[in-house]
Every structure is written in structure tokens, then in C-alpha cells.
Amino acid sequence: MLRKILFPLILGVAGCGVLISLGLWQVERLAWKEDVLVGINARLAAAPAPLTTEVSESTNEYTRVTVSGTPTGEELHVLVSGTEAGTGYRVISKMQTPLGAVLVDQGLLALENKAAAPLIAPMEITGTLIWPDDQNSSTPDPDIAANIWFARNVDTMSAALDTLPLMIVSTTSTPADPRLTALPVNTATIKNDHFEYAVTWFLLALVWAIMSFYLILRTTRPKDA
């Protein structure tokens, strides 16, 4: 009897062990991600400080800052959908400041307003420092002629507009560009699906255990004469 059930038993235990370990790993990742989100929310809730050039992605991402400057009118349009303001173009503007030119994500431009002229006037920006890299292997190359981009990348965009490699996502601007709806940074846009993954792995482990039990029953069932 033991020889009959040894293989399905080993298969069942090994499979359940692997699936449960994957589920536990996702639980650990969930705790890590929640700690990260707590830290980000703390930065987003802090009072903004004047922008300096002594900032880096590793220590200052999601830091709230203020800066005064004037948009030059040069901007990149990033096609996006599913934002709080709907579908349109994120407007990444070149803004001249006392520190040098920087990138400012000024908000969403409606599709039908793509040709509207930008507001070129001195303004005060309050926003969040980020170093986004939305590109992946499936991201299309930008349509330079039509000024349509499909991802934000600080290095690529700062090279295109000849700015410092700094991007501020605007929360408020005074005065506001009437074409645009601000898209402030918040943690709702940061993926945290580790709980769903953990549940999936644990359910697969349960299914594997049931299937293994059924296989053992079939193996030990007496055959008809």
C-alpha cells in the first residue's frame, strides 16, 4: 500500500509546500509594501520645502517642494488614460527657475485641447519630486512629430528638453494654466496587489491538496475483477 501512495504523496506534499511558500512570500512582500506606502504618505503629508539641486531619487522621491519659475512653452505630451481626470495628455513642461530648467508635470490636457497655447507667465509651483520610469519593453517610441509620448522617464525627457534631471508633479500652481487639471501624486496609483497574489497561491495550494488526496484515493481503490 505504501509503495502505491508514495509517489502521489510526495507529489502532493512537495506541490503544497511550494505553493504555500509562495503565498507566505507574498505575505512578506505585502508587509514590506505597506511599510513603503506609510513612508510615502508621510512624505506627501509633510510641509513643502524650497527646491534645491541637492536632491536624489534614493533620498528625496515623494518629497514635497515649492519652486518659482516660468514655463518656456516647450512641453511633452504623454498620452494617458484611467486618471482621476480621465483620458488625455500629461503635460511635461520645461520651466526655467533660479536653479536652472526643470521638468514640471503640470497635469492633464484634454485630448481636444492638444493644440491650445500654454500659459507662459511667472508662477509658483507646489508639488512632489518623483523620478518616474513608466517605460517597459512594450512601450512604443514617442511620436516626435506629433509630440505624443507614451511614458514618463526623467532622463529621456530632461535630455529632450535640455533640463536638469528633476521632475516635479504639480499639486497647485499660481497662477494656474486654464488648459490643465492637476494630477497630484498619491499612493492610490502605486500597485499593491500582494494580498491578491497571496490568496491565489494559498487557494492553489488547497486545490493541489484536494487533487493529491483524490489521486491517492484512486490509487488505493481496489480494481474490479
3-state DSSP assignment of residue 70: strand
Question: pLDDT by residue (tens digit) across 84-100?
Answer: 888 999 999 999 999 99
Per cent of the chain over pLDDT 70 is 97
CA distance 156 to 160: 6
Question: pLDDT by residue (tens digit) across 112-153?
Answer: 999 999 999 999 999 999 998 888 878 899 999 999 999 999
Taking residues 9-38, report their average pLDDT.
93
CA distance 225 to 209: 30
> What is residue 1's predicted lDDT score, i.e. its pLDDT?
60
Q: What share of the chain is helix, strand, coil (3-state, %, to 5)?
A: 40, 30, 30
CA-to-CA dists, residue 78 to 111, 120, 209, angstroms: 11, 20, 48
> What is residue 137's predicted lDDT score, i.e. its pLDDT?
79
55 is written with which cell numbers? 536632491
Q: Where are the domains positioned within the chain?
A: 2-38+191-220, 63-184
Q: Which of 164, 3, 150 is nearest to 80 (CA)?
A: 150
CA-to-CA dists, residue 170 to 40, 47, 180, angstroms: 17, 15, 11
> What is residue 138's predicted lDDT score, i.e. its pLDDT?
85
